[in-house]
């Protein structure tokens, strides 16, 4: 099938992850993966981002498909249940707000900058090599560490479910995917 | 009249569990699938040839290929 420029956006996703190893401030770019899908859903009432421009989905599709790193088995039933998908979305949001709160504390001077990336909301990985001081407030860096943690965690989770199940299993419970579908449903008044 | 009836394979989406990711759309050689308003995948039964590519690709495994009489 004919390839389009947007079939190569997985390169951007990969670059994003790599840049975070060198300078954590690049993590801010990840906000694009939050705002673009929301704009598609909120304004267009569609999932144009998922359907076309999501580099992360493409990356899993490529690694699991072309590179054969996936067992290509069906995801378990509970994983595609509404309960799990919405539950995971809520959990993701809570952790996201906790990260924002943490950033706020650093901005307010109540906490010092933690130069670590938290994987799976639990494991603190030292990451000081990617921080070289900044012209900006330490809070700017704190947000970068927090946001990169979110991105890395979701990549790791997605990677494992790619190995175990179908290449793009992450798309089944991806919070952005669930949220944009929900927005589209509400917008199109299709919620039963 | 019934002698012209034939069985054909077509894709069916289990709509309430479709996550509207669009993976199926990308692989369909007939361009027979669309994501309807960002909510669910819809198969155009007239163009679908039942090849099953979408069903293999679907991460949620919610597409079934069924035989229908046309
Ligand atoms: S569900 Fe998530 S990972 Fe999959 S295409 Fe949509 S935004 Fe990307
Ligand atoms: S690949 Fe499956 S879950 Fe995704 S839009 Fe198509 S039918 Fe729905
Ligand atoms: S079965 Fe083949 S032709 Fe029919 S919708 Fe799926 S990919 Fe397209």
Closest to A46 in 3D by CA, of B34, B35, B32 = B35
Taking CB atoms and an 8 Å limit, are B22 and A169 in contact across chains?
no
pLDDT in the model for residue A15: 96
pLDDT in the model for residue A192: 46
Name the domain count of chain A. Answer: 1
Contacts of A76 in chain B (CB under 8 A): none
Range of the domain at A53: 5-191
Beta bridge partners of A53: none
Cβ neighbours of A182 (radius 10 Å)? 17
pLDDT in the model for residue A191: 46
Domain residue spans in chain B? 7-69
ipTM: 0.89
Query: Looking at the domain that runs over B7-69, which CATH code has it been given?
Result: 3.30.70.20
Query: How confident is the prediction along chain A (192 residues), in pLDDT tens digits per residue?
Result: 678 999 999 999 999 999 999 999 999 999 999 999 999 999 999 999 999 999 999 999 999 999 999 999 999 999 999 999 999 999 999 999 999 999 999 999 998 999 989 999 988 889 888 998 878 899 999 999 999 999 999 999 999 999 999 999 999 999 999 999 999 999 987 444
Taking CB atoms and an 8 Å limit, are A168 and B23 in contact across chains?
yes
State if residue A56 touches ligand 1 by the CB under 6 angstroms criterion.
Answer: yes
pTM over 0.90: yes
Contacts of B20 in chain A (CB under 8 A): 47, 50-51, 177, 181, 184
State if residue B52 touches ligand 2 by the CB under 6 angstroms criterion.
Answer: no
Best of A171, A177, A183, A187 to disrupt the B interface (most B CBs within 10 Å) is A171
């Amino acid at each position: 099938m004919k390839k389009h420029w947007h079939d190569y956006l997985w390169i951007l996703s990969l670059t994003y992850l790599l840049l975070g190893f060198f300078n954590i401030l690049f993590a801010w770019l990840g906000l694009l993966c939050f705002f673009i899908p929301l704009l598609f859903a909120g304004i267009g009432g569609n999932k144009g981002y998922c359907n076309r421009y999501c580099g992360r989905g493409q990356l899993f599709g490529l690694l699991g498909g072309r590179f054969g790193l996936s067992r290509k088995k069906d995801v378990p039933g509970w994983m595609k249940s509404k309960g799990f998908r919405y539950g995971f979305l809520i959990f993701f949001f809570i952790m996201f707000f906790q990260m924002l709160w943490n950033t706020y504390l650093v901005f307010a001077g109540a906490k010092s900058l933690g130069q670590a990336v938290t994987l799976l909301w639990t494991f603190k990985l030292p990451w000081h090599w990617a921080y070289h001081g900044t012209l900006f407030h330490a809070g700017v860096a704190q947000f970068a560490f927090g946001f990169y943690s979110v991105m890395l965690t979701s990549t790791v989770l997605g990677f494992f479910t790619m190995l175990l199940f179908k290449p793009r299993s992450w798309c089944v419970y991806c919070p952005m995917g669930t949220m944009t579908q929900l927005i589209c449903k509400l917008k199109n008044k299709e919620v039963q | 009249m019934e002698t012209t009836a034939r069985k054909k394979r077509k894709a069916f989406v289990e709509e309430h569990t479709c996550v509207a990711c669009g993976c199926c759309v990308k692989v369909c050689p007939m361009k027979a699938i669309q994501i309807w308003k960002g909510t669910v995948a819809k198969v155009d039964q007239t163009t679908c040839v039942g090849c099953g590519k979408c069903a293999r690709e679907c991460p949620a495994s919610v597409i079934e290929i069924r035989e229908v009489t046309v």
